[in-house]
Structure 1
């Protein structure tokens, strides 16, 4: 079968009508009828039977249906990729980030980029790392910022700096605080597959410690919101903690510090544009400014130190 045969069969499967399938494909009904007949002649068996004025798939068509659906999805992906390549603009950057980075880091970065080059425009997409990587591979994104450290084929990972994990609670405590001295109070945990969650779990395992987890969440800012609501304590990255700090919340550095790397991801085979380079430079500078030593004395954020 040829591609136009597959498109017609898919349209008939969806509509149950040759006329409606022809309309969906923007061809005439006689042309659709001729195309279907040609496909059935090539295959040597019928694909549809007319029952009470509607076309119903034969057993053979039912068997083909899952493969047709898969090919259709691959065709959609191919068209999306082709469109993205055609419309790629050097002055427009499509940036993806995890929610934690999007909340606490990117707003400052975007402002600084615009101060340097006002003509650059952005499309920002916040999602979890697996979805961001898929968007990068489909060229729906030009650059991704994440805490993830995994290597992936065709993707170049660029270190930007690091943040660290901090305790967020509603009580004034010693600063810094060892993991072993965190009070046995209700704890809101990041899920184990989260890069920050992995760092924390490894540190707890190394000291044979356990926290009284009452809730597990996907996103750092949800964990902070639950602390504000009085649900318990949490440990998240400093960038998110600063962005979510409210009156009555206190941040404590951990002892020893638990660093979390911040990385950018780009297409390994693509040359870096001047806009990419500018964005990466400002990301690195802004990440360096997020260190505890830089922000712990800032009264605007009320950090208990």
Structure 2
């Protein structure tokens, strides 16, 4: 199937008629009709049934459209990638991180970084890990900080540090806690991500009081006395009073990881990421 055939087919499917498709492609309706017939001849099957002046897609066309949507999404991504490559890569560094890190660790790191690179322009964004990986692929960001390693495509993961995990509870006052001692009737699950996977290696909390999607939300509910949870030390210290934060025994930790593309981006003048 040639690109011009895909173009007319996609236009008809999305516009709903041959006339609107021709208008969208800035061609005449006879030219659009000719291109559509050529596509059907090339494919060897009918794409649309002509019923009472309307074009109704066949089952083959519907199946083909699903793939065409994926192709057009890739084309959109390609255009976005080209736009990002056209920008001056030396002008700034764009750093993405998890929302919880954006509220705690990253501001401290960036402040220290600026003391050594005062001329650098840095852009910061917060997203979940899956979105950060996609933005790395599209070169929307240069680096990403997450709490889990990623092995995908050309993404490289560097382990920066092990971040201690802590037990958080407004009502607990007895120092260190063993994970088996935690009351699962009060358990606030921190969401379906690497932290939950790490916790599951020690204990499976089959009953939960609340399920949240971010570490920050877990700390907010703990602050209000809604229950207890486990989170990273940075999120806990940023949002909770010291008496609500307790060590876990034996100790638990989660990996702080730096993600980047395999092909190293040009560094800004005078800047070096350490």
Query: Does the pair score TM above 0.5?
Result: yes
Q: Which SS does the other structure have where 1:148 is aligned? A: coil
Q: Find the aligned partners of 1:95 and 1:149 in 2 and give their Cα distance.
A: 16
- How many angstroms does 1:237 deviate by? 0.5
Q: Which residue of 1 aligns with 2:127?
A: 126
The residue that corresponds to 2:210 in the other structure is 215
Note closer, same or farther for the CA distance 1:27–1:117 as it changes in structure 2 (3 Å cut): farther
Q: What corresponds to 2:82 in structure 1?
A: 82
Matches within 5 A, 1:178-193: 178-182=178-182, 186-191=186-191, 193=192
The RMSD of aligned alpha carbons is 3.0
Checking the alignment, whether the CA contact within 8 Å between 1:114 and 1:120 is kept in structure 2 is no
Matched, 1:106 2:93: no
Give the Cα separation in 2 of the matches to 1:276 and 1:14: 49
Contact 2:93/2:122 (<8 A) preserved: yes
**Alignment partner for residue 234 of structure 1, among 229, 235, 241?**
229
Displacement of 1:2 in angstroms is 1.1
Residues 215 and 275 of structure 1: CA distance in aligned 2, closer, same or farther (over 3 Å): farther
Aligned twin of 1:6: 6
Q: TM-score, normalised by structure 2?
A: 0.83
Q: Verify: 1:255 aligned to 2:249, yes or no.
A: yes
Q: What residue ranges of structure 1 are gaps of 5+ in the alignment?
A: 282-305
CA contact (8 A) 2:90 2:269 kept: yes
Bigger mean CA deviation after superposition, 43-52 or 73-82: 43-52
Secondary structure at the aligned position of 1:213 is classed as: coil
Quick one: which of 239, 245, 264 aligns to 2:240? 245
1:132 alignment partner, SS class: helix
* Bigger Cα displacement from structure 2, 103-112 vs 140-149: 103-112
Relative to structure 1, the CA distance from residue 8 to residue 274 in structure 2 (aligned partners, 3 Å threshold; closer, same or farther) is same
Alignment: residue pair count? 273
